[in-house]
Chains A and B, each alone.
Chain A
């Protein structure tokens, strides 16, 4: 890749992936959104308002922290953590919800809807809706409502209505289906804040651009702290918003390797996983063409992961493109390995990561020892583990 990376094209294509695959009623709102996004991303006043919020409300820039003890323990590359877990609301999700909510306000929309898996995006959306005084409805699969009850309660405290979705597999994909149905019914006053780099164009590009602050900061912080670029980036991939946010500003730095870690659940060979890039096939779902978990008949397969935020049968179309071109690698990590990553970071550095981010930790435990001590890995620590205390305790047979 010698030319400067400039994806997607005008109609939202990343090679054969991406695009706009929605019913006719949603085409005009998608076009309206794209026009607003193109306009305001070049509007200094909008950018200044967003930057001020990111600084004073979210607490950016988030630190880049040298995990020295853990690096020494693993005995290989120096590990740096991009601390998105320290953001207001506890994950990277707020970077995007602030951007989209400010856009909604400029577009005169009074009602916000969102889908959520682990509840991090739902909480980040409910938070910004509260701050801007917008009505907020969050769709969440009933399975996720049960396993992430703490976040459900947070959203309700923030004034949002949480709708438990009972259709299909009752997880993130079904929440997305239901949010799309709401949007098509209420297009006139409603803005749909999608939480990941999926959906029809412009969502994958727009969410990436709002999340790219992670990689821009990390790149500069790494240069400031070490005088050089990192050798590798590691991030977990469900839909892939935290990964693309970290990766994108480094895409033209060809010496920097990128690893997007998918959730292998019980193991790829069991079929009970959420790893479309590792074991899926291209198809069309939720407005774009990408790798999907789908059977020979084109029906979407139910997914599994210990982390609700990675429990999704698709992946952002830009990741599909980066996989095919070889610019990024997409290894996978099982539930059990992720738990090892969770405990390792907690005990070695006193930082409790989200189960989603724990997949990136676990992969780093494999990768770091294969690298030299003067090499650098940046991991996106995309969220904190507070929300997972019940899941962890239950696994260990403890009633909280």
Chain B
């Protein structure tokens, strides 16, 4: 069983929800990321999504765009992101790491070349924003052959037919994008999310993590009540951005925020 499947199974057995932070690898500096990952684990996160910086992040809002630009200014790349994951793995064998990014850096390595490198780095899942299932067969197969989970996005306008497609080709979990828009956008409507989740559940047995619009303990609790996990990204990166000269302070604030979110999510299983 993959590390992601085992993690979601253990969470389900204990009635808990996954807390999944997203940070961009190498932001604000390559030396910052591994320590930040360990600190987030201590704050109680279950899975880490590690953003791979890309020059043209079309699905991201301004906060994550700027994170990408800062990381690229330090020559961060897909290969170096995997080096960071390897480094993290040396002292943490249980927390799954998911790479989230765009297809072109993977194409530049070739699918096989990338899958081999990801396996060596002990990567658990790969979410490629601009690779829909219709074009993903070859890539998904090369990941699955190495027990790496290909993770797919679902949107508010995804049809039943498409949800079934993701269920077939994806594994690990599905990532439900709760808003039409880019990362870091607007506020979400929990009734809409709840209705859509019912539709999604009818078509897949995979765990569903929900992201876009989660920014604090309160929104985490609302969303955690609906899905199997919550993803928080832009709100964390905003803290890095607010303290570019004091990364330790940013780390402290991120840990604080994740801790309150953890408590909020765990209050769901207690009630």
- Residues on A close to B: CB < 8 A? 11, 19-25, 27-29, 167-168, 173-174, 177, 180-181, 184-188, 281-287, 289, 292, 294-300
Contact = CB atoms under 8 A, between A and B. Distances in A.
9 contacts: A19-B134, A23-B58, A24-B154, A168-B56, A185-B182, A186-B180, A284-B104, A286-B56, A298-B107
B245 interface: no
Q: Name the 5 nearest CB pairs between A and B, nearest first.
A: A298-B108, A298-B105, A297-B77, A25-B155, A185-B181
Contacts of A25: 153, 155-157, 177, 180-181
B61 A181 contact: yes
Contact of B177 (A24, A28, A29, A299): A24
Contact of B56 (A177, A186, A187, A188): A177
A238 B131 CA distance: 25
B180 A284 contact: no
Given A27-B162, A297-B105, A297-B108, 4 more contacts: A23-B177, A184-B182, A283-B104, A299-B104
Contacts of B78: 297-298
Interface of B: 54-59, 61-62, 65, 69, 72, 77-79, 102-109, 129-132, 134-135, 152-159, 162, 177, 180-182, 185
B158 A21 contact: no
Contact of B153 (A24, A177, A281, A295): A24
Given A23-B129, A24-B132, A27-B132, A283 B153 contact: no
A299 B132 contact: no
B56 A298 contact: no
Contact of A299 (B55, B109, B154, B162): B55
Nearest to A178: B58
Given A21-B131, A25-B155, A185-B182, A298 B59 contact: no
A28 B131 CA distance: 14
Given A185-B180, A297-B79, A300-B55, A22 B104 contact: no
Given A27-B162, A177-B58, A283-B108, A21 B132 contact: yes
Nearest to A179: B58
Nearest to B185: A185
A19 B139 CA distance: 15
B35 to A, nearest CB: 24
Contacts of B134: 11, 19-20
Contact of A23 (B62, B108, B130, B162): B130
A287 B72 CA distance: 22
Given A24-B177, A185-B182, A300 B56 contact: yes
B56 A173 contact: yes
B65 A296 contact: no
Nearest to B101: A298
B58 A181 contact: yes
B130 A284 contact: yes
B54 A21 contact: no
A299 B182 contact: no
Contacts of A187: 157, 180
Given A11-B134, A19-B135, A285-B56, A299 B105 contact: yes
Given A22-B132, A24-B153, A297-B79, A184 B181 contact: yes
Contacts of A180: 58
A45 B196 CA distance: 39
A20 B104 CA distance: 14
B107 A167 contact: no
Nearest to B166: A24
A251 B129 CA distance: 35
A283 B56 CA distance: 13
Contact of B135 (A20, A173, A296, A300): A20
A300 B59 contact: no
A284 B154 CA distance: 21
Interface centre among B58, B106, B162 (most CB of A within 10 A): B58
A303 B145 CA distance: 38
A28 B59 CA distance: 15
A24 B152 contact: yes
Contacts of B158: 24, 27-28
